[in-house]
Homo-oligomer: A and B are copies of this chain.
Amino acid sequence: MASVRQIRSFNRAVTHRTGALEDSYLGRGRPLGHARLLFEVAPEGSDIASLRERLGLDSGYASRLLRALETEGLVALQSDPADRRRRLVTLTDRGRAEREAYDALSDDLAASLLAPLSRSQRERLVAAMTEVETLMKAASIAIMPEPEDSADAQWCVASYFGELAARFPGGFDPGDGGYAGKPAETAGAFLIARLHGRPVGCGALKPTGHSTAEIKRMWVAPEARGLGVARRLLAALEDAARQSGLTRVVLDTNRTLSEAQALYRKAGYRMIERYNDNPYADFWFEKTLGPE
């Protein structure tokens, strides 16, 4: 496939460049691993576990790296008062200065990439990089089933309700406690979209009859909008319905959610008569599921 070939060629070209970046990180007489770790320490301090997780380090290795940075006077380690097994890492003034030096190196390298280009080439490059980054972000979002009562699921649903409350002119009251109560019955499903593990969207399927299910709680976090997540969630929910032997899905929506309506129409939904007494619903849609 031509596109696969283009991606591989792109990878090769870009790895070449990022290699230069890594080399520049060695310009300060410190191994790359140390520099990377220094970069991951958050301004307000981090706990070791989160650093380890982000960089994928072994506990012993991380401990030693941190000790090295500590003896260099770049970070300070202290026990977390809330849980004294944990230790908190903070940057010292020297550490902050060192990080700024690394930042300056990176900035210089980025600027040197732009330097030979004309103004219009620079603009094109930056625009294309933004596009690649956005689409790689979209591609990194994974959709998978999630227990409806998990912390992440509840966080998504709460975010969804919070947003409805902010957008509906008269506010929004989830009524029966909100969290849908029981875990999904047979044929139901709760899906969650994650970006690097972080939940950024959800959608639920609730059977409402012999052959019909209702799609509910479709929500995408602001940071993940415009990436086609809602489209993918909808398609995944339809697939789930299909696999449970259902032949029709319905959903309702509020007039203020115009993007949602456009999405439903584009996905082949057509408007039908009111089928429930949801006080927040203004439009009702259905879609008959083919064998796909």
A interface residues (Cβ-Cβ under 8 A, vs B): 1-4, 6-11, 13-15, 17-18, 21, 106-107, 110-111, 113-118, 121-122, 124-126, 128-133, 135-139, 141-142, 228, 231-232
Q: How far is B126's CA from A202's CA once the two chains are assembled, in angstroms?
A: 28
- Shortest CB distance A183–B (Å): 27
Which chain B residues lie closer than 8 Å to A228 at the CB level? 117-118, 121
Given contacts A6-B130, A14-B14, A129-B7, A121 and B138 within 8 Å (CB-CB): yes
A21-B17 contact given A1-B111, A111-B4, A117-B138, CB 8 Å threshold = no
Among all A-B residue pairs, the 5 with the closest Cβ atoms: A128-B131, A7-B110, A10-B129, A125-B135, A4-B110
Q: Is the CB of A6 within 8 A of B136?
A: no
> What residues on B are CB-neighbors of A137 within 8 Å?
13
Given A18-B15, A121-B138, A128-B128: A116 and B7 interface contact (C-beta under 8 Å): no
Complex CA gap A11/B25 in Å reads 14
CB contacts (< 8 Å) of A114 on chain B: these are 3-4, 7, 139
Cα A110 to Cα B111 with chains together (Å): 29
Closest to A18 in B: B15
Give Cα A139 to B141, complex, Å: 32
